[in-house]
Amino acid sequence: MTEYIEKFNLLIFILLTTLYLYQLVYIGAVLLGNRKKRRENARVSKHSRFGVIIAARNESLVIGNLIESIQNQSYPSELVDIFVVADNCTDQTAEVARKSGAIVYERFNQYLVGKGYALDYVFGKIARQFGDSYYDAYLIFDADNLLDRNYIAEMNKVYNSGYNIITSYRNSKNYGTNWITAGYSLWFLREAKYLNQARMMFRTNCAVSGTGFLLSSSIVRKYGGWKFHLLTEDIEFSIVNAIEGEKIGYCEKAVIYDEQPCTFSQSWNQRLRWSKGFYQVVWKYGRELISGAFKGRDFSCYDMLMTIAPGTLVSLGCLGVNAIFLMMALLNASTLYHVAPVALKAILFSFVNFYVLLFAIGMLTTITEWKQIKCEGYKKILYVFTFPVFIFTYIPISVVALFKEVKWTPITHSIVKSAEDMR
């Protein structure tokens, strides 16, 4: 049996390495590649008209600062209108948003719950009030966000270069609070730098990540609003566009600051929803992604497939099989001293191997994004060591998500900072 255990784990190691080897190429391209600078010629001189949409649920503490950061953009203010959908709010979100200068729509629906439904609602309201072509494009934010002063100007440049969907550089406004906020933040920085930036270099599809993205009015008209309502509507949106051949761009100079959950219970609930949403996406779109990746030979589909699977499922399966081997050894005295050490070694090797890999990713991201990380230097170093631990906590979360019914629940935001504070 020990021979089978060793061969099985070697096979899993080779499989995962092969499937995700392209991401090492991504890292090399970002670090060593001589990127061709896009010529910002006459095409980017056009100032587009933007509708900024903020989906908010009980966000009276933070929404005023976001609106202020939008109003203080270097982009012409007369070309930017701010819309807030106060979704099932029981606090003063709508009042604060109106006083801050936003156009506010209040939505009350206890059955269709979630950001996706709120976006669909506000797109419908805007179409009826202004028409479906009044705005060239829309910018989508969460209420806890803050924008760098040049955010809209930089997104406009990429939009004018021909992209109908664009994501941006996602930073954090509470990186240094604890190992949980740092874990989130480092993952998003890595996603921006070593996934989306590389994808942009290779002219393949980038991925929208929750907040801080642009979509043209033509995309809104195409879908008749926002028709993505799985628990991870952003991933669903990204994957549908990859399948349909719509390129998603990335703007590295458009910086957004996001608030991360501070407690493990909040983090557990949020990532439980994300994990369940990933499973939903795999179930709904997995066959089309596989078809696009292998039959259609579309690398965007392959990349998106690797984003949602099979890494998590294969890793969980590997740990599960080794655990079964271990249990079998413990229940059988004749194999205990031969099989148990091999199974334990395999499990330990998996954790050590993944820890080293994640530590390297965290260290690389911390070094290259050092100036972008807003916290004390010693914390930047400390949280490189805790980053793998944060990712490891996805293991029980992913297991629970396989079996538990999960519903969308709001995350409380309380970090009151201004865009000026982040500078």
Fold annotation for 48-261: Spore Coat Polysaccharide Biosynthesis Protein SpsA; Chain A (3.90.550)
Q: Locate 233 and state its tokens.
A: 């509507």
Query: 171 and 153 in contact (C-beta within 8 Å)?
Result: no
What are the tens digits of pLDDT across the range 181-203?
999 999 999 999 999 999 999 99
pLDDT at res. 316: 61
Distance (Å) of CA 78 to CA 4, 115, 261, 296, 301: 68, 27, 35, 44, 39
Residue 28 CB partners (closer than 8 Å, separation 6+): none
Query: 105 and 85 in contact (C-beta within 8 Å)?
Result: yes
pLDDT class of 297 with cuts at 50, 70, 90: confident
**CA terminus-to-terminus distance, the chain:** 59
For residue 224, pLDDT over 60 is answered with yes
pLDDT at res. 267: 95
**Highest mean pLDDT out of 43-47, 246-250, 295-299, 407-411:** 246-250
pLDDT class of 41 with cuts at 50, 70, 90: very low
Integer Cα distance of 231 and 238 in angstroms: 14
Please indicate whether residue 289 or residue 418 has the higher confidence score (pLDDT).
Answer: 289
Of the chain, the percentage scoring pLDDT greater than 90 comes to: 69
Q: What is the mean pLDDT of the chain?
A: 88
Distance (Å) of CA 10 to CA 3, 14, 85, 352, 356: 11, 6, 51, 15, 17
pLDDT at res. 398: 87
Q: Locate 311 and state its tokens.
A: 């890494």
> What predicted TM-score, i.e. pTM, was given to this entire model?
0.90
Nearest Cα to 92, choosing from 52, 67, 66, 60?
60
Nearest Cα to 165, choosing from 110, 222, 239, 238?
238
For residue 42, pLDDT over 50 is answered with no
Query: Which residues make up the CATH 3.90.550.10 domain(s) of the chain?
Result: 48-261
pLDDT class of 40 with cuts at 50, 70, 90: very low
Surface-to-core class of residue 422, CB atoms within 10 Å of its CB (0-12 exposed, 13-18 middle, 19+ buried): middle
Of the chain, the percentage scoring pLDDT greater than 70 comes to: 87
